Amino acid sequence: MINLTEEAFWRGKAIRVRYTGARPITVLGPASAQKYVFSGIQRLQDVDPKDAMEILRSSSFRVEGVVQKVGP
């Protein structure tokens, strides 16, 4: 039997989030303290799963999918 923890499942992954608002916005990730910059031309961002749950509480954001992180 495999015991896969939630943390292990999310390791190396990101939540692709789409911004639906009109004005540029910078969001500070509540868990990672990473800055996410969204705008009309930069609508998609790959967000740390720990940050995504809080960011997605706003109706200006929606999930596009789960992706494998690239880079550091």
pLDDT tens digits for range 13-38: 899 999 999 999 999 999 999 999 99
Q: Is the pLDDT of residue 61 over 90?
A: yes
The token pair that represents 53 in the structure block: 């749950």
Percent of the chain with pLDDT over 90: 64
| Residues β-bridged to residue 46 | 16
The backbone torsions φ and ψ at residue 27, rounded to the nearest 5 degrees and listed phi first, read: -115, 130
Delimit the domains of the chain by residue range: 7-68
Q: Token pair 């999930």 is at which residue?
A: 63
Distance of CA 61 to the CA centre of its chain: 10
Q: Is the pLDDT of residue 1 over 70?
A: no
